[in-house]
Structure 1
Amino acid sequence: MKRWLLLLLVASLGCGEARTGGDGPRVWRFAIEESEGSVQHAYALEFERRVERASGGEIDVVVYPYGPLGTSTQMTEQLNLGAIEFAMASPGSIGKFIPETQAFLLHFVLSHDDAVNQRALASPELLAAFDKLYAAKGWKLLSIFPEGEMVWTTQKEIRRPDDFRGVKIRVMTSPILLHAYNAYGASATPLPYSEVYSALQLGMVDAQVNPVFAIERQKFYEVTDWLIFPGHAHFVTTAAANREFYEGQTESDRRLIDDTIAALNGYIFDRQVAFQTDRLKTIIAAKKARGARLGLCGDFTNFLAALTPEERAELVDCNELLTITPPLTSGERQAFASASEAVQQTYLDTGGPDAERMLRLIEAAVTEAE
């Protein structure tokens, strides 16, 4: 978006502590990178509920799902200009502004256990280090949190890098992700999120990668046959505020923001875990209702344990359209891990002056959390 258009948006929305009227509540705008019904949407709505309740109605939080305010990059620019007060900024979009954040896009850096990642990403040392990088761009880092395991939706089962040969996979616009999937032997193709379904439907791409909740929400399972859970990466995002806005608040309002964000860390982890189970159930049921086959590759022990006996019978045991194959073996995972090692050097070469320090901080936080 042209800068003059962004400035026009700033003028139309106002900035800082905008009011709906002379005596109306202060308006805090919160833009997210995902649609309604997503993990980020649940986070923003809970932030809205808690802030409005704690402020006694003096603050009105307005949540903007993905779309009305433009792309993720455009929303980040609006955050910088103060057109919005809060925004989600994932490494795939914010990496062009803060290249060090692309460390979260590297494969086999975070733990396979999302609970470990939750603890690691909440490390005060890690948050403080990244906040210094955010401050240089005019942003205040509020939190870093995982949204769930990254899952491949494909037309065939993929268990080793050789299986990716000839496969066109959609990825976010990031050199790290492009190099990662090219290193596996795939043909990585960057596409806007809004174009992924049609690209899969028309055969422009053969696969894509996202957490389960996004796969279900965007119905990517309708135009692919397999969900592969390789355990290679987790989707990580960050919540940020315009720094001038944050620092211009009263001490009590800054405490309100900080306390709300701290409380949301546990809340959103429980929500995203529930999302993964509920949305996978929806996918299996929808494929069965359409008479379409579905293949699942991964460890589904926890998923199966969460099903009622009736759900397990209907969705799994008596579902002839469903195929479940074992998770990747240690050798199969190692083949992908080995192929991804060269991508770390790409990150170190392009990830900014603090790239290596930030990567080591992440690795140390994961080790400590384990």
Structure 2
Amino acid sequence: MNPRTHRAFPPLLAATLLLGACSDSGDPVSQLISDDPEPVIWRFALEEIAGSVQDAWAQEFRRRIEAISDGEVQVEIYPYGSIGTSPELTGLIQEGRVQLGFAAPGHLASTIPEAGVFLLPYLFPDDDEANLSVLADEELSGMLRSAWQRQGLQLLESVPEGWMAWTADRSLRLPEDLQGVRMRTMTASLHAEVFGIWGAEPVPLPYGEVYSALQEQQIDGQSNPVFAIQEMKFHELQSVLIQPRAIRFVATVVGNAEWYEGLDDRHRRWLEEAREGMPRFIDEVQRKYNASRLELIRETGGTRIEVLDESERARFREASLPVRDRYRELAGDRGDEILDRILTLSRADG
């Protein structure tokens, strides 16, 4: 394991930071004239485990920023489960105890309603290149940044992680097939409404509780990107994996807003330089991860893989349209602008 990829928060971290800042140990003259100042530490929290798409983004970002800064900035990475659940991680970033991290709409939409746009089915283009173009749109990004900033978060990037797939113990090819299926959803209410309108019985659960809920038969199915299904071993507890190509999983890279605004010109420049080209890099990673993990599931056996055809997708698309109106209600005028912008871009690209 990389020595700065942490499994648990260092003991008494806050106290250690305070003491380190106030310490009068050592020779004060030597400290004043030292040519090797202590490195600046940026803590980065993940909502996924090591080896995931988010981990790949964070590891590449760390490599770049440490090279650009010649080691003056160092990044400590905390995989999912090491310092808290997804909402807890976002709270740590808002408090400034962690500088950077991922924040996915599956929980973020509970406090930032505009984030729920990423939970709407059949909204973004089917084509990966077109999807990248939509996410890169500066007008859209500006709208999203304003919404995130109201919650003390600086939105740095929207990261595509691939199509959400479903797993269950029966075929789910039409909305009527979901009738009565206890489907795990992300904790934001809008995601539950999506599956509810398709006929399922939504069961909102944190990511870390999905495996045990499947094992204990508290739920009948779940939805995640293929790479996550494989690495979390959800497929080992289900007999069918369905690819509806309905919702693209998009996470956001965020920073504490005050921390970001307080960066000096040099550190801000390094941060922006490290981010250059990252959308293309991570899109290639997610395509590779999702394809290779699907092949691993296929090779393992025991899981039937089904891909919905266009007529089946059309049934789900039509059934899900009322959720867009619900999003507009929850997200207000800014949500209207965000949704309309994505619809315009998606039609143009697709």
TM-score by length of 2: 0.88
Q: What SS does the aligned partner of 1:189 have?
A: strand
Does 2:234 match 1:239? no
SS of residue paired to 1:200: helix
Which one of the candidate residues 303, 318, 328 is aligned to 1:348? Answer: 328
The AA in structure 2 aligned to 1:88 is F
CA-CA distance at 1:18 after TM superposition:
8.0
Query: In the alignment, what sits opposite 2:154?
Result: 140
Q: Say whether 1:296 aligns with 2:305.
A: yes
SS in 2 for 1:238: strand
For residues 194-343 of structure 1, what are the structure 2 equivalents within 5 Å?
194-287=208-301, 292=302, 294-298=303-307, 327-328=308-309, 330-343=310-323
Q: 1:341 to 1:64 in 2, by over 3 A?
A: same
3-state DSSP of counterpart to 1:354: helix
Aligned pair count reads 328
Partner-residue secondary structure (3-state), 1:131:
helix
User: In structure 1, the residue corresponding to 2:151 is in which secondary structure?
Assistant: coil
Q: Which moved more, 1:51-60 or 1:252-261?
A: 252-261
Where does structure 1 lack aligned partners over 5 or more consecutive residues? 1-7, 299-326
1:75-154 residue pairs with structure 2 within 5 A?
Answer: 75-154=89-168
Q: Map Cα deviations across residues 230-252 of structure 1 (whole Å, 9 max, x no partner).
A: 11111011101112211211212
Distance 2:12 2:344 in 1: 41
Is the Cα–Cα contact under 8 Å of residues 142 and 258 in structure 1 kept in the other structure?
no
Q: Is the 8 A contact 2:85 2:208 kept in 1?
A: no
1:157–1:295: 8 Å Cα contact kept in structure 2?
no
SS of the equivalent of 1:112 reads: coil
Once the 2 structures are TM-superposed, how far is the Cα of residue 32 of structure 1 from its aligned partner?
1.1
Please name the residue that 1:310 is paired with.
none
- For 1:136 and 1:198, how far apart are their aligned partners in 2? 35
User: Structure 1 counterpart of 2:91, which letter?
Assistant: E
Q: Report whether the alignment pairs 1:24 with 2:33.
A: no
The CA RMSD over aligned residues, in Å, is: 2.2
Q: Deviations over 1:21-67 (max 9, x none)?
A: 97321100111111111100110011111101111111110011111
Counterpart for residue 28 of structure 2: none
Distance 1:169 1:124 in 2: 35
Q: For each residue in 1:335-367, what CA deviation from the matched residue of structure 2 results, as whole angstroms up to 9, or x when unmatched?
A: 111111111121111124411111112222323
Q: 3-state DSSP class of the match of 2:84?
A: coil
Q: 1:56 is matched with which residue?
A: 70
Where 2:277 maps in the other structure, the secondary structure is helix
Change (3 A) 1:9 1:348: farther
Q: Distance in 2 between matches of 1:18 and 1:130?
A: 35
Look up the match of 2:3. Answer: none
> Mean Cα displacement is larger for which, 343-352 or 54-63?
343-352
Amino acid at match of 2:123: V
TM-score, normalising length: structure 1: 0.84
Q: Could you give the per-residue CA deviations for residues 149-206 of structure 1, whole angstroms, max 9, x where no partner exists? A: 1100111111111111121110101211111111111111111212211211222111
Indicate the larger mover: 331-340 or 53-62.
331-340
Would you say the 8 A contact 2:124–2:346 is kept in 1?
yes
Residue 134 of structure 1 aligns to a residue in which SS?
helix
Does the aligned pair in 2 maintain the 1:184–1:336 contact within 8 Å?
A: yes
Could you tell me which amino acid in structure 2 is paired with residue 208 of structure 1? Q
Aligned match for 1:70, one of 74, 78, 84: 84
Give the drift of 1:14: 4.5
Contact 1:120 1:368 survives alignment (8 Å): no
The separation in 1 between residues aligned to 2:131 and 2:253, in whole angstroms, is: 16
Residue 367 (structure 1) aligned with residue 337 (structure 2): no
8 Å CA contact 2:198, 2:319 repeated in 1: yes
